[in-house]
Structures are given as C-alpha cells and as structure tokens.
Amino acid sequence: MRRACPSTYFRPLLFVSLALAVLYDTRSASGQEPAINRAPTAKDWAALAELPDWSGVWTPNVTDQFAQVKTNPVPWKPAAAAQVQHLVTEAAAGRPSGLFVNCLPEAMPSWMLISHNAMEVLFTPGRVTMLGESDGNRLRRIYTDGRDHPADPDPSFHGHSIGRWEGDTLVVDTVGILPQTYLAISEAVGVPNNGDLRIIERMHLAGPDELHDELEIIAPNVLTEPWKTTRIYFRQRAKQYDIVEGVCLHGSFLEETDSNGNPIFVPVPQPPDGTPASIGR
C-alpha cells in the first residue's frame, strides 16, 4: 500500500477496519474466539458445492464389522479383556447382555462401530451433521468453522467434534464423551470407556459410492494402545432408503386406551427378572 498522509487516511481506514472486524468476526487482539456464529454468506453456501458429494443414505457393511471381531481384535487392558470375555461367553450361551436395551444413545464411537442401520451426512456452512436411523438418537455435530474444543466441555454421548478438510478427507477430532458410554463391539459385548476417550477419524470416499470412516480410538483407561479400525458404508439413492423416524423406546410401550377413551402409550410389563442386563452384576 502506498504511503499516505496519516491525517487524510486515518479515519476512513479506521472505519473500514472496524467494519471488516464486525463483518468477518476476525479474532480480537487478545486472540479470543468470537462469541457468535455469524450468518453464512452466499459464498459460504456456494463453497459447499466444492466439497465431495456425501449425499444420499449410507448403509453399513455389517459383514465386515463381524469379521473384524476376529481379524482386528481390540487391544483391551487385562481387566477390560476379562469383562469382555465374560460377555462373549454369556452371549454364546444364549444370554446376551443388553447393553443398549435402555435405549440411551449408543454414543461415540459405538454407533460408528456396531450399528446395522442407515445414516445420512448433511453439510451446512461451518458444520457437518450426521444423523442415524433408529438406535437411540444417533446425532453428531462436527464443527468445521475452525473453532477449538472448549477447555472443559460438558461430557456428552457423542462428544465435542471439530473437523477440517484435508483435500477430500474430513479429519475429525472428538473429545468430551461421557465415561459411562460403552466401547462396544456388538450389541451384547462392550465395556464403559471409563473416561479420557478421544477419537480421531479420517472420513473419505473410497469409491464413487463407498464411504470409509478410519477411526483411531484412544481410550487409555481400557485399551493398552490406540485401536484403529475402518468402518465401511455404501451409498443408497433409492427413495425407499429415505431415513425414517426410529424411536428406540417405541417398542417398550403398548398402544392402549385410557378411561377417557384416549389412545395412549403404556409401558410393556417387564419380564420377572426386571432389570435390564448389565455387566458386573
């Protein structure tokens, strides 16, 4: 920029700088992140068209999930391995533990690991959102607007996820997952992650209609080392694959009629043993 007389250009420059700061939410001099999500511009929406096409409905490769139980065993710590072996034995004997019968979310990473059901991936400015069909509220929000993780995130079922695009690969980092959620290898076999869980993913197309999620699961309280596994999904475009609502608890209620003649939901009476199966009891 040419040197200009300060007294002539200072005020307009100041005005323009302030205007830019307001419009584009640049970081303040102190480096703090802005406190609002600014409205996306037309350019932001247009930029989504440059991303790889992850539209459609994605159905999982379950055969590969089962195969990996043998070909890619989880590096459990001894205490966790003993619990896992007990659950495997019980399931083989026809008494599977119902880790998810309470219909709480399968959570991260288990919904990527064990779901047999479809999912979809939505792109909006600054965000990738993943929604699953059925399986207790499968919903992940991955922030791609450059933000960091909060210093002390409230623990949640799916964690706090931030992502960035490296070419056509979405690299996602997830922390802040509730310690009670299972690191599961099936609906009957898994151990609570016990906290300090971190998941790094590289998600990308491996073919025109095949999506891979390469997971690195870092669970220092139950694993001897990070566990790497790839989960495979196939794209469906037929309308009969449209995601439908799937409320996990629906099957736990019966349709009956109350004394006023209203149709109502009434809980299914539980079997005599009462409590849902859980490990360690």
Partner 1 sequence: MAAVLLIASAGTATRAHHSFAMYALNEEVVLKGTVVRFRWVNPHSVLSVRPDSETDQNPAIWNIELSSPGNLTRTGWSRRSVNVDDRIAVTLHPLRSNEPGGSCMSVTLLATGQVLECGAGEAIRAGERPNLP
Chain contacts with partner 1 (rule: CB under 8 A): 59-63, 91-92, 94-98, 100-103, 116-118, 133-136, 186-188, 208-210, 234-238, 240-241, 243-244, 246-252, 254-256, 268-271, 276
| First-to-last C-alpha distance (Å) of the chain | 73
- Other CB atoms closer than 10 Å to residue 245's CB: what's the count? 7
Cβ-based nearer residue to partner 1, 78 or 94: 94
Shortest distance (Å) from residue 80 CB to partner 1: 19
Q: How far is the CB of 94 from partner 1 (least distance, A)?
A: 4
Residue 276: CB minimum distance to partner 1, A: 8
- In the bound complex, what is the minimum distance in angstroms from residue 56's beta carbon to partner 1? 9
CB nearer to partner 1: pick between 227 and 233: 233
Amino acid at 200: I
If the CB atoms of residues 7 and 262 are measured against partner 1, the closer one turns out to be 262
Judged by CB, which is closer to partner 1: 147, or 250?
Answer: 250
DSSP label at residue 270: P
Q: What are phi and psi of 177, to 5 degrees?
A: -100, 140
Q: Give the contacts of 195 (CB within 8 A, at least 6 positions apart).
A: 179, 221
Q: Which residues pair with 211 in a beta bridge?
A: 205, 233
Is the CB of 224 or the CB of 236 nearer to partner 1?
236
Residue 231 Cβ vs partner 1, minimum distance, rounded to whole Å: 12
Residue 265 CB neighbours (<10 A): 12
Whose tokens are 């791609």? That residue is 144
Contact criterion met (CB below 8 Å) for 205 and 211: yes
Helix%, strand%, coil% for the chain, nearest 5: 25, 30, 45
Question: Closer to partner 1 at the Cβ: 115 or 229?
Answer: 115
Cα 183 from chain centroid (whole Å): 13
Q: Which is nearer to partner 1, 222 or 232 (CB)?
A: 232
In the complex, least distance from residue 44 CB atom to partner 1, rounded to whole angstroms: 30
CB of 260 to partner 1, least distance (A): 16
CA 64/CA 229 separation, integer angstroms:
11
Return d(Cα 143, Cα 163) in angstroms, integer. 6
